[in-house]
Structure 1
């Protein structure tokens, strides 16, 4: 579903991502963890086609994000760590705008907006301007918009930040449903307990370099993910 091959990205003299290789297969929830500035957001933005990268290749469903960006973008959805929505729009206008971009039919968009709006208890708020939404409500709206066109791959940067416990629980269930249907999830998080319980596989990045990856059992063994992460953080690269 997603192949990242020898990805490198520099900002001047700073190496943000250094020869990163990852493969996320259909059916997998893949967690991406690391300290602030480790390269998680740069990687996700590169996969989403927002950032140009210096070397390497990224393939989404067999297509290159570098040479076939539009075809790739029809296959995935991306939720940034701080959703930058159009505050002048109402929630429903924003969702219809996203549905128009992805060519979602009137019947399907109505079905999905109602389904996910009800799940997050947002249906009654969709007529309100986004400017009046709390951070948590904006996060819920971004999640609903990501699910609208039923993408094969969903990329998320710290998706649980700002969500209340109930909404976080609902999102975890939605993530599993996507993967059970043959899709894949690639997301970053600082909430290691969530990653440990939810993810099929996990990758740990430090100063732009991949330091460990694999199934949860392979990465943490008999320890907790938190213990492994803190141990790796204490080692020199």
Structure 2
């Protein structure tokens, strides 16, 4: 039995002479909650779009549960769900209509759909707004209905790009707890986030990408061990590896100088 949920082999994306992602190799195990981290422009969203079939690679392969997403797109997309950083949901549908549409696309039996939809709406406190038009939703509510839509089909692999942006603290915690439970029950989550504290708390493994290359990969203990400091936070490791540590030191110096003037 294949225990690999996501396998990237020499996956590349070029725009003219610019290599956005050069020859990326990565494996994510089934049931893993994987954190995909990197500064702006590092290649996170480009990579996720190639794996989910939204952006064609220049070369290499992206497999989900052993299925090449570009050679067998329909078969592969039946296994996955994707929530982008900006939730693009149909504004003229109600929340319930949107979930019903997603359920019909995946041909979910009516009874199964009804119970699953009600459960997800309750988890994210959307039950009372389910019959309202999505155009009346706040950004956070749109994010939550998009997450509900992604989970309605019980995907084998869930891709989330900055999922907590716009979520209130209660909803963010609900999402963290739900992802942990789903992964413990066999689903795989591939999560891109800028909130390093969340990644440190909930992810089984973390991959840090810079200029399209994986520069660190492992559990928190492995990352700390590789960096030679058992007490480091993920934020410390991230800033050190991506070169942002110097920028933070400069900001502190400017701030300190400003304090002296006052």
TM-score band by shorter chain is: over 0.9
1:51 matched to 2:55? The reply is yes
SS at match of 2:12: strand
Map 1:115-134 to 2 at 5 A.
115-134=119-138
SS at match of 2:48: helix
1:139 matched to 2:143? The reply is yes
Distance 2:172 2:224 in 1: 24
1:176 matched to 2:185? The reply is no
SS at match of 1:173: helix
2:224 to 203, 212, 220: 220
Distance 1:199 1:91 in 2: 29
User: When the two structures are superposed, what TM-score results if normalisation uses the length of structure 2?
Assistant: 0.88
RMSD of aligned residue pairs (Cα, Å): 1.0
Distance 1:46 1:103 in 2: 25
Larger RCO of the pair (alpha carbons < 8 Å, separation 6+)? 1
Gap runs ≥5 in structure 2: 245-262
Distance 1:105 1:220 in 2: 47
State the number of aligned residues: 235
Distance 1:137 1:234 in 2: 35
Aligned to 1:9: 13
Distance 1:233 1:94 in 2: 40
1:164 to 162, 168, 173: 168
Structure 1: 4+ residue segments shifted above 4 A: none
- 1:115-144 per-residue CA deviation (whole Å, 9 max, x = no partner) reads 010111101101111100000000000011
1:62 matched to 2:66? The reply is yes
1:104 matched to 2:108? The reply is yes
Gap runs ≥5 in structure 1: none
1:220 CA displacement: 2.8
1:37 matched to 2:41? The reply is yes
Distance 1:164 1:12 in 2: 40
Which protein has the larger Cα radius of gyration, Structure 1 or Structure 2? 2
